[in-house]
Amino acid sequence: MTCKLSLATLDEARKTAAIPAYSRADLSAGIVHFGVGNFHRAHQAVYLDDLFNTGTDHDFAIIGAGVLPSDAVMREKLAAQDFLTTVVEQDNNRTGARVTGPMIDILQVGATNTIIDTLADPKTEGGYFIDASGSFNPQHPAIAEDGKNPAAPKTVFGFIVAGLKARRDKGLQPFTVMSCDNIPHNGKVTKNAVVGLAALSDPAFANWIGANVAFPNSMVDRITPATGERERTIARDDFGIEDNWPVFCEEFKQWVMEDNFPAGRPALEKAGVQFVSDVAPYEHMKIRILNGGHAAIAYPAALLDIHFVHEAMEHPLIRAFLAKLENEEIIPVIPPVPDTNLADYFALIERRFLNPKIGDTIPRLAQDGSNRQPKFILPSTADRLARGEDIVGLSLVSALWCRYFQGTSDSGREIAFNDASAERLQAAAIKAKDDPMAFLALEDIFGAVAESELFRKRFAHALKTLWQEGTAKTLQLYLDDKLAEK
């Protein structure tokens, strides 16, 4: 027997899954979250569910909001089940399901006035957890349009600006803008974007935002694959719950936040969140070791026709490549992290990558490399170059990415790209077979790193070796300390 997930069927779901210990009728909105994706529902929403289960802070329920067509689809799917979510946590040795209920609504995409009014509502002036990505670009067409028409925003940043203006005009304390993503210094990046956008139409208001609005930094971590038919089938067959969009994730989760919430915040420390004065050391560690590790194994695995992340980690050459790269080139340039042993942290990352139940895929890790490489790999390269240290392994990561974008695996299988810059990346990668510098000429990606003679030399030799010897042999040469051209 199965039950279609809804508030009315929670007692049936209780037979196979944990359900909220609180009544949804007792919740009131305190958080507006832009971008209700899988990660949010597996991470921030789970922490709030844990907190609400303690019987406190029920005035910090989530209202979702979005601006993209995919947000409208998510709203339709979740509204049909009263905005509940089945979260399936899968560790190496256990699998368990829970139904979470901290979200009470998702605003309609295109309901501009409703979203702005919600942001301006004094009932929701605790914390606002808002995803942001990229750095501020005033020339972007959507941003430029919001600058010309601030009362009719089309972007997340535009809604934040409009909401803050409505709060100021009502004489209300501004809300806190909380970023929950993998961007380094995400609070600072978001502040730059919001202030920069406001300055396009009202420089004085932009100055007010800069002086009065808090943008705390945060570090978030939980491996959360995309949802497909596999996940819906497992939720139905193993747990008897028909969920339109269940979330599957690993058991591990971490959230470190800068404690900068002038308007108040939920007591998330009761649910395991770490509040610190400086997030940077934790963020640095996670982005370089975990996200950098994902970026490192994605492309050799794709070139060797490996689909799942745990299968890549079971390949002796890939696992050894990751360990050597992390221990010799990445971890040594990471500053100390409070109460953390970096060797132990990497061992934890290895175990997480080896989790066979999570179903994380190499195509997911390989997507959006034009955005991820400059954040997760090239900063380590730059740090080592600045210290006068070699970058054989990190150059190999860049060469593997270039080889991947030529378009076929070692076996000749065609590679399907998922990157906004795929066309120009592939054009540059094809030219790089004969002229490696053609790929490094992508200045928005490689920047000053491409000016290093050592990096250019190491990259060119690694790419040449990949073409001549193939991925497996090149990895072995690296492991044997025979890849570096003398």
pLDDT confidence of residue 449: 97
* Predicted model pTM: 0.89
**Cβ-based neighbour number of residue 407 at 10 Å:** 15
- pLDDT at position 132 is 52
Domains of the chain: 3-276 (3.40.50.720), 280-479 (1.10.1040.10)
Per-residue pLDDT of the chain (486 residues; tens, 9 = 90+): 799 999 999 999 999 999 999 999 999 999 999 989 999 999 999 999 999 999 999 999 999 998 888 899 999 999 999 999 999 999 878 899 999 999 999 999 888 899 889 988 877 655 555 655 556 777 778 888 889 989 999 889 999 999 999 999 999 999 999 998 888 889 999 999 999 999 999 999 999 999 999 999 999 999 999 899 999 999 999 999 999 999 999 999 999 999 999 988 999 999 999 999 999 999 999 999 999 999 999 999 999 999 999 999 999 999 999 999 999 999 999 999 999 999 999 999 999 999 998 889 999 999 999 999 999 999 999 999 999 999 999 999 999 999 999 999 999 999 999 999 999 999 999 999 999 999 999 999 999 999 999 999 999 999 999 999 999 999 999 999 999 875
Rounded Cα distance between 43 and 89, Å, is: 11
Q: Max CA-CA distance within the chain?
A: 70
Helices then strands, each counted (H, E), the chain: 24, 13
Report the alpha-carbon distance of residue 346 to residue 293 in Å, rounded: 9
| 151-155 contacts at long range (C-beta below 8 A, 24 or more positions apart) | 152/112, 153/112, 153/116, 154/67, 155/67, 155/197
Closest-CA residue to 395 (of 342, 459, 349): 459
- Find tokens 């990046």 and name the residue: 189
Q: How far apart are CA 189 and CA 292, in angstroms?
A: 20
Find all residues with CB under 8 Å of 264, minimum gap 6, and list them: 125, 126, 127
Q: Are strands 176-178 and 127-129 parallel, antiparallel or unpaired?
A: parallel
pLDDT (0 to 100) of residue 182: 80
- Indicate the DSSP class of residue 128: E
- C-alpha to C-alpha distance for 279 and 185, rounded to whole angstroms: 8
